[in-house]
Amino acid sequence: MTGPEVETTYREAMRDAIREALATDDRVIVLGEDVADYGGTYAVTKGLHEEFGRDRVRNTPLSESGFVGAGIGAALGGLRPIVEIMTVNFSLLALDQIVNTAATLRHMSGGQFHVPLVIRMTTGAGRQLAAQHSHSLEGWYAHVPGLKVIAPATASDARWMLPTALADPNPVILFEHNALYGEHGSIDPVGGPVDITQAAIRRSGNDVSIIAWAGMVHKAMAAAAVLADQGVDAEVIDLRSLRPLDADTLAESVARTHHAVVVDEGWLTAGLNAEIAALITERCFWTLDAPVRRLASAEVPIPYAQHLEEHAIPQVDDIVAAVNRLVRDGV
């Protein structure tokens, strides 16, 4: 069932998804720093404590390890917690809870226990928030068995990926790029949950596959528009799911275009970009006309100064140049 699409922002779409979850399932609770009165660091939960009360939308102390642990305990007790961590950088304070507890309990209990927990956290740079609030560490979590890792890049996915994540009996990490909250997009208000393990082709093309996720999807789309004017027909794939990776969609695309560029806002060394490049090479070696090209952030902490920050992370012009070198020169 579908309805007329409505225009909204990424932030409002995510808030609507959380609101619906709270309204339709008494097991859903929201935990995090300032998620109640302040409405969350990025105002995603603004007003929800007034609708559903402080037992359902609950402020926590500034202790990531403590409130993520509380979320794990609540999930084991039969609730469906949504835990908000301000930034992926701060999630490192809860790494033990996420990696050594939430991700392992099903395995260590022989399938007797599940942790139906969604952990929301922001990622990415572009807003001059400096080195302790701006990194893209999604690849760290995508490395861990027992977790699903998703990164909605559009308002529609912000609205409809959360219900699927909440229905999962095991922990899901949901990354929200901090530069996307004000982005406008159309959503189907009755569209329903989507498969969170599938990539989405945002633009079809025949000459090169540009693979991106989160904030880089929008830059890849802008680069594809520039490339079209230059005679290069680029396909843009939004991964959406970082664990598991949708290998079939990637392989089918690259088998047609014969070229692949992976655009990652994380660092190049040992990044998620390397796993994707290896996967494509393994699946598409005989159809590639050139090596898979990786484009990533500079190997530095994200700077505060705007001009340095812009220089440190991939921009539209960088993607255009990388694609042209690959398609035209084979390097």
Residue 329: pLDDT band by 50, 70, 90 thresholds? Answer: confident
DSSP of 14-58, one letter per residue?
A: HHHHHHHHHHH-TTEEEEETT-STT--TTSTTTTHHHHH-TTTEE
Query: What span, in angstroms and rounded, lies between the C-alpha atoms of 133 and 16?
Result: 25
Q: Which pLDDT does position 100 carry in this prediction?
A: 97
Q: Domain span at residue 40?
A: 7-187
Give the lowest-confidence range in 55-59, 188-192, 238-242, 325-329: 188-192
Q: Which two tokens stand for residue 82?
A: 């949504």
Residue 328: pLDDT band by 50, 70, 90 thresholds? Answer: confident
In this prediction, residues 22-34 reach a mean pLDDT of: 97
Whether residue 129 sits in one domain with residue 32: yes
Query: What span, in angstroms and rounded, lies between the C-alpha atoms of 96 and 100?
Result: 5
In this prediction, residues 86-95 reach a mean pLDDT of: 96
Whether residue 210 sits in one domain with residue 174: no
Residues linked to residue 238 through DSSP beta bridges, in sequence order:
200, 212
Give percent of the chain with pLDDT exceeding 90. 91
Whether residue 304 sits in one domain with residue 275: yes
| pLDDT tens digits, one per residue of 232-265 | 999 999 999 999 999 999 999 999 999 999 999 9
Q: ∠175-264-256 over CA atoms, to 5°?
A: 110
Whether residue 58 sits in one domain with residue 119: yes
Q: Which pLDDT does position 3 carry in this prediction?
A: 65
In this prediction, residues 77-96 reach a mean pLDDT of: 96
In this prediction, residues 299-322 reach a mean pLDDT of: 95
Q: Does residue 194 belong to any structural domain of this protein?
A: no
Q: Does residue 137 belong to any structural domain of this protein?
A: yes
Whether residue 64 lies in the annotated active site: yes
Sign of CA dihedral 58, 59, 64, 66: negative
Q: Which of 33, 64, 84, 309 is catalytic?
A: 64
Q: Which two tokens stand for residue 250?
A: 């990637």
Q: Does residue 234 belong to any structural domain of this protein?
A: yes
How many Cα atoms within 13 Å fall on the side-chain side of residue 9? 12
CATH number of domain containing 141: 3.40.50.970
Q: Which of 133, 135, 218, 259 is catalytic?
A: 133
Mean per-residue pLDDT of the chain: 95
Omega before 116 cis (within 30°)?
Answer: no
Whether residue 146 sits in one domain with residue 47: yes
Q: Which pLDDT does position 127 carry in this prediction?
A: 83
Q: Which two tokens stand for residue 106?
A: 């099903």
Q: 134-163: b or e for each residue (b if 16 or more CB lie within 10 Å)?
A: bbbbbbbbbebebbbbbbbbbbbbbbbbbb
Beta-carbon count within 10 A of 184 CB: 11
Q: Which pLDDT does position 129 carry in this prediction?
A: 86
User: pLDDT at residue 331 above 80?
Assistant: no
Residue 2: pLDDT band by 50, 70, 90 thresholds? Answer: low
Q: Which pLDDT does position 248 carry in this prediction?
A: 97
Q: Does residue 32 belong to any structural domain of this protein?
A: yes
CB-based burial label for 59 (10 Å; 0-12, 13-18, 19+): middle
Query: What span, in angstroms and rounded, lies between the C-alpha atoms of 169 and 147?
Result: 11
Q: Does residue 1 belong to any structural domain of this protein?
A: no
Task: Single out the residue of 239, 237, 266, 250 nearest to residue 140, CA to CA.
Answer: 266
Q: Which pLDDT does position 1 carry in this prediction?
A: 52
Q: What is the layout of strands, in order, in the sheet containing 200-203?
A: 200-203, 234-238, 208-212, 260-267, 293-297
Q: Which pLDDT does position 125 carry in this prediction?
A: 86
In this prediction, residues 40-66 reach a mean pLDDT of: 95
Query: What span, in angstroms and rounded, lies between the C-alpha atoms of 271 and 256?
Result: 25
Whether residue 264 sits in one domain with residue 138: no
Q: Which pLDDT does position 78 carry in this prediction?
A: 96
User: What's the per-residue H, E or C state across 307-325?
Assistant: HHHHHHCCCHHHHHHHHHH
Q: Count structural domains, the chain.
A: 2
Whether residue 310 lies in the annotated active site: no
In this prediction, residues 187-197 reach a mean pLDDT of: 88
In this prediction, residues 166-182 reach a mean pLDDT of: 96
Amino acid at 204: S
Give percent of the chain with pLDDT exceeding 70. 99
